[in-house]
Amino acid sequence: MGIDPLFDFSGKVSLVTGGSRGLGYQMAKAFAEPGADVIIASRKLENCEKVAEECRALGRRSLAIAAHVGKRDQCERLVEQAYDAFGRIDILVNNAGMGPAMPSHEVTEALFDSAVNLNFKGPFRLASLVAKRMADGEGGSIINVSLSGALMPLPGTVSCGSAKAALNAMSKSLAWEYAPKVRVNTLSPGAFRTDIVEAWPDKDKGPIRIPRGHAAEPEEILTAALLFASPASVNVTGSLVRHDGGQH
């Protein structure tokens, strides 16, 4: 089967943080299959390299980069390495994130700072650096990955949810600041069956009720990511898509 022209990423370069597993892995492969070259960034180089090899097997150029995006200097180094290798980034997916699942009174200052750094400060630095280069060049699409806890009360995830709420606000501001050549949108997943399910009491339904009845499979994130990244979505920016099975 040929590539749908609405989702043809031939000649495009995508950078996916947290791209070695879970939703990030699925999105990296989703961009590679219809033609994009892919940069995979995560803390462990060997895990990134495995995904890069899968992308190369599809006939794409792919680069693995070890980076902790909760650290400003490593964000800056990641951007420099990406542009040195490919000369451009057309799609940035700020997917890396974490959060301690524990009662709020047990969250230490170090854990709180880590949650804010990885879920907000790092994505802000990456998005702002890349958006400027996109705006000075041919434009592009930035996708910031949030979570349901930024939109609804979820006990035990306050530090992460609050940081992601800041990420949601950041997306709208950046969409205005770097328009019209750069589109910035937010993707808000709910419960997905990634490795996080091991921490759930019910490994099928997630920590809270889902109207759909069960958690989603990681590959089910792809249509939303492709929508935001598609050059056909020229009128979609500053938007947030909830991909949570109807949680509210």
DSSP characters for the chain? -PPPGGG--TT-EEEEETTTSHHHHHHHHHHHTTT-EEEEEES-HHHHHHHHHHHHHTT--EEEEE--TTSHHHHHHHHHHHHHHHS--SEEEE-------S-GGG--HHHHHHHHIIIIIHHHHHHHHHHHHHHHTT-EEEEEE--GGGTS--TT-HHHHHHHHHHHHHHHHHHHHTTTTEEEEEEEE--B-SGGGGG-SSTTT-SS--TTSSPBPGGGGHHHHHHHH-TT-TT--S-EEEESTT--
Residue 233 confidence (pLDDT) above 50? yes
Is pLDDT at 70 greater than 70 in this prediction? yes
Residue 112 has pLDDT above 90, yes or no: yes
Above 90 in pLDDT, residue 4? no
Q: What CA–CA distance (Å, rounded) separates 144 from 156?
A: 22
Q: How confident is the model at residue 88 (pLDDT cuts 50, 70, 90)?
A: very high
Q: Was domain 5-243 assigned CATH 3.40.50.720?
A: yes
CA-CA distance, 140 to 133, in Å (whole number)? 9
* pLDDT exceeds cutoff 90 at 155: no
CA–CA separation, 198 vs 215, rounded Å? 13
Mean pLDDT along residues 1-16: 86
pLDDT (mean) for 52-67: 98
The label of the residue with tokens 């702002």 reads: 128
- 192-211: pLDDT as tens digits: 555 655 554 555 555 566 65
Confidence of residue 157 (pLDDT cuts 50, 70, 90): confident
For residues 97-120, give the mean pLDDT: 89
Integer Cα distance of 183 and 198 in angstroms: 35
pLDDT confidence band for 149 (50 / 70 / 90): confident
Question: For residues 242 and 218, which has the higher predicted lDDT (pLDDT)?
Answer: 242
Q: What is the mean pLDDT of residues 227-231?
A: 93
Give the closest residue to 170 by CA, choosing from 185, 151, 154. Answer: 185
Specify the pLDDT at position 200.
47
Domains in the chain: boundaries = 5-243
